[in-house]
Chains A and B, each alone.
Chain A
Amino acid sequence: MLSSTISANTEESVYRGINKVNYTSNLNINEPSLNSTVPIFRVLNDVGDISNNCKSIIIPENNDLIKMYKSMVLLSIMDKILYESQRQGRISFYMTNEGEEAAQIGSAAGLNSNDLVYGQYREAGVLLFRGFAPEQFMNQCFGNVDDLGKGKQMPVHYGSKNLNFVTLSSPLTTQLPQAVGSAYSFKRSKVNRCTIVYFGEGASSEGDAHAAFNFASTLDCPIIFFCRNNGYAISTPANEQYRGDGIVSHGPGYGIATIRVDGNDILAVYNAVLKAREYVMTHTRPLLLEAMTYRRGHHSTSDDSTAYRSKDEIKQWSIKNPIIRFKQLLEKNNLWNNQNDVEYEKETKKQLMQSFAIASKKNKPNWREMFNDVYHEIPNSLFAACIEMLKALEGKGKEIFFKIIHDAYEKELVPKDFEKCLLIPLPKKKKSEKCEDHKTISLITHSSKILTNTIYKRIEAKINVNLEEDQFGCDVITDKRSKSWEEANIEKRVRQGCNLSSTLFNLYIENTLKQLREDEFGGIKINGMQAGREQMNSLEDHISQYSDHYPKQ
């Protein structure tokens, strides 16, 4: 048997793949050390006391502490309202942030406001803390006319350019390599910005996570990878997602610095992110931060988590509610009390319900929005598609239109849209510059064109049977039955392009002709000659010339 000796000599590497060489004669299998785990940094214990061992931590100013607390409460109330509204069928989908309020608000507080945030989908608190108003969240959930995303995405896919929060997408982990790219851009332009990208422990299994860690490390990008390890990816528990020591253990493999933090301790998260930010900016290196927390709510409104976890488990984590933990600290420092809580909750609920009511009543964006923003400019093919869609409205469109007309009839109110017109100034002479040198035609809107056309179709049959034969130039008249038409009152001139213009004219002139016919000695004087009804040519243009001479007027 050969004796083995251990060489402890470490030398410069001849291999491209490693930095140092350390040969050994021992054939060892390098077992992962499953028993040792990276410790979790925390500031507050479960009852909200700051640990005595915590050194050089930063406690925010009182006002900031209260702002952080209020944000957590606001987030949880907003969650309840929107969750319930989904249950009532008022919005299509929702995802709560329950249990992860501290991880979200604490990290948001530790960043600079111009640091770019890439989220997964459970980071509403970050956006809220940055100043996204509750009604903006609700506008998005309703996809109404004021939704910044213009109604394109499912609820909770928020985004805000002003608040440096990149609009979310549903595919998991795609945001990670993108965040690395943005960080590289900031590094090059030396703008003192970093990016932070949020993701879950489930998302860490995607290939994009590997890509992102590796790119960030090899390309020296100032980025904070913020993993919310909340125990579940929908129903899959974390221990079926990986076998290593959580997500933080990925760091060393990529040569990335790491921090593991108690995600339910807002002060720990805040301090960890402050420190992480300082690290990534001064070293121009990435940092992987793992916040240990628990998703107390269901994955989404499409999920019932009691199907895969016990109520006891959830209850156990309710005791570790990060909001209560933080509140205890504030109470002990006389910054907050139960009375404040009751009042703040009441006021917040009231305001949120108002915002909700307003957002729910807002219109949806214009349907044409569907074709916008596919490209920077609308391509020809989409113009064509737009026209095709209008044509195909036949069935549904008819129903909607019927309702509009019916309402207008019942309420005796024509919708405002219909009253609009387009005034086109026509110059009376060349180079007309002044207002009075123009005459105008007023073009009818498309909606009123549809309305007038509809009215025309409805009265067409009746008019035709009531017109005398001599209006042959205007329409086909065969049947002469009861003459029930009263004088048509035209209060205003019709507009250019109105489908009713010729019909209204026919009605008006028919009445005139009718009186002529009944008046034995009547007629029109043309050039001093009496023109009887026999000589009448009822073509519109001729009648309009004659009408000035109508003797009775």
Chain B
Amino acid sequence: MHSTINKYSLVCHTTKNILCGCLKRHSSHFVYHPEPISNELGKTSKKNMYQAINNAMDLVLSKDSNSVVFGEDVGFGGVFRCTSGLRERYGKDRVFNTPLCEQGIVGFGIGLAVAGTTAIAEIQFADYMFPALDQLVNEAAKYRYRSGNLFDCGKLTVRTPCSAVGHGGLYHSQSPESFYAHAPGLKIVMPRSALTAKGLLLSCIRDPNPCIFFEPKIMYRLAVDDVPDDDYELPLEKAEVLIEGRDITLIGWGTQVHVLLEVAEIANKDFGISCEVIDLVTILPWDKQTVANSVKKTGRAIVSHEAPLTGGFGAEISASIQEDCFLHLESPIRRVTGYDTPFPHVFEQFYLPNKWKCLQAIKELVNY
């Protein structure tokens, strides 16, 4: 789908012009790179990410009569509008509010899935999912294993908004993916765009394993793509090489992919450094092979995520790269991430691993 830097740089300038007005309030730290327009998957229409997600759930509800969507404030459309119109279309026994209780939502979802219902749960913010940690880690992740495959909750998908939004502070900004990455049995996915959100969410819902689908909330309205109208699925456990390059591999997921895409453009234009940009897409189980192949070629790697440095998923990727690519490395592997502090409100722009921090790291590694 993506092979040249030119495609991206072209669209990126126009988007910048269109969006710069509305982004001022949030003083967004990245430039959204829309997906290249393609008719491969049929007719498309302009959709932002929440509309694409809404569309994916709409398709599931219309095709699978034994599927339900639920969570806090889901009935009226959800605080991010992802479920808007669904209750009207499918009835309140299929699209409904639950009491305000995350562990209840996930536990309830597991039970639905065990009984054969396709369960799409919404946790209003990833920051608030921790009460459900037990249900996710001890229950959902281990259901199939502990029963010798007698029972499973593969029909469960938990959707939840995550990551920086410009003004979210400590409890509306976190990217907690690495907490869940320590629970074998879960699949953890984070889309980078409206187009990938729809395809990946459909894959997660239909995947026979319990999935957590992290939606970078800043992109709900900001990310606008030409999204195919049809039903399509994008592969899980498969990283995507968005830009091919020679000198250094940049690995990210979610919003951070767009930071890295811009960094790659600047590095190329201003310093003649050729960057390979990889969207990891699936955090667990992650695509080691694609990352290793790339780093063996470029000899350098930067992993970048919004979550804090220590114990972040970048640590896992870095460790894995040095095991697989040791003799190919030209420089140390670098993590450019959020700091080991809570996510700060007014200091958000300092906290985030923005393009300048990434660029600095690239220069240091290339001249190492």
Contacts and interface: CB of A to CB of B under 8 A. Distances in A.
A185 B115 contact: yes
Interface in B184-201: 184-185, 187
Contact of B150 (A161, A184, A208, A212): A161
A181 B148 contact: no
A166 B151 CA distance: 7
Contacts of A182: 111-112, 114-115
Contacts of B109: 181
Contact of A148 (B68, B101, B107, B150): B150
A183 B111 contact: yes
A188 B66 contact: yes
A348 interface: no
A169 B140 CA distance: 11
A482 B109 CA distance: 78
Closest 6 CB pairs of A and B: A181-B111, A177-B107, A211-B104, A167-B147, A178-B111, A185-B115
A166 B152 CA distance: 10
Interface string B140-156: 00101111111110100
Interface in A176-212: 176-186, 188-189, 195, 207-208, 210-212
B81 interface: no
A163 to B, nearest CB: 10
A59 B110 CA distance: 37
A185 B289 CA distance: 40
Contacts of A188: 66, 68, 93-94, 117
B154 A169 contact: no
B107 A212 contact: yes
Given A166-B147, A181-B110, 9 more contacts: A167-B150, A174-B139, A178-B110, A179-B111, A181-B109, A183-B111, A185-B116, A381-B286, A381-B288
A131 interface: no
Contacts of B131: 207
Contact of A174 (B113, B138, B154, B209): B138
Interface string A252-290: 000000000000000000000000000000000000000
A412 interface: no
B32 interface: no
B218 to A, nearest CB: 30
A208 to B, nearest CB: 6
14 contacts: A147-B148, A150-B149, A159-B147, A179-B111, A184-B108, A185-B115, A195-B111, A208-B103, A208-B107, A208-B134, A211-B103, A373-B144, A380-B237, A381-B285
Contacts of A494: none
B343 interface: no
A180 B114 CA distance: 11
A165 B225 CA distance: 47
A391 interface: no
Contacts of A497: none
Contacts of A211: 99, 101, 103-104, 107-108
Contacts of B114: 166, 178, 181-182
Contacts of B113: 181
Given A116-B115, A179-B111, A379 B148 contact: no
B96 interface: yes
A148 B184 contact: no
A153 interface: yes
Contact of B148 (A149, A174, A179, A186): A149
A219 B93 CA distance: 9
B150 A181 contact: no
> Of A167, A379, A381, which is in contact with the most chain B CB atoms at under 10 Å from its CB?
A167
B272 interface: no
Contact of A181 (B112, B134, B154): B112
Q: How large is the interface on A (under 10, 10 to 19, 20 to 34, 35 or more residues)?
A: 35 or more
B150 A185 contact: no
Interface string B10-45: 000000000000000000000000000000000000
A39 interface: no
Interface in B119-169: 119, 131, 134-135, 138-139, 142, 144-152, 154
Contacts of A178: 107-108, 110-111, 114, 139
Nearest to B287: A380
A190 to B, nearest CB: 11
Interface residues of B, number: 50
A185 B117 contact: yes
A374 B210 CA distance: 11
Contact of A149 (B115, B147, B288): B147
> Of B99, B131, B148, B209, which is in contact with the most chain A CB atoms at under 10 Å from its CB?
B148
B349 interface: no
B318 interface: no
Contacts of A150: 148-149
Interface in B306-325: none
A176 B134 CA distance: 13
Nearest to B118: A185
Contacts of A395: none
Given A166-B114, A184-B111, A174 B135 contact: yes
A373 B112 contact: no
Nearest to A185: B115
B235 interface: no
A152 interface: yes
Contacts of B209: 375-376
B98 interface: yes
Nearest to A161: B150
B208 interface: yes
A528 interface: no
B204 to A, nearest CB: 13
Given A169-B146, A188-B66, A214 B99 contact: yes
Given A167-B150, A374-B144, A181 B108 contact: yes
Contact of B111 (A148, A171, A180, A207): A180
Given A177-B108, A185-B116, A188-B93, A215 B99 contact: yes
Contact of B138 (A116, A160, A171, A372): A171
A148 B98 CA distance: 35
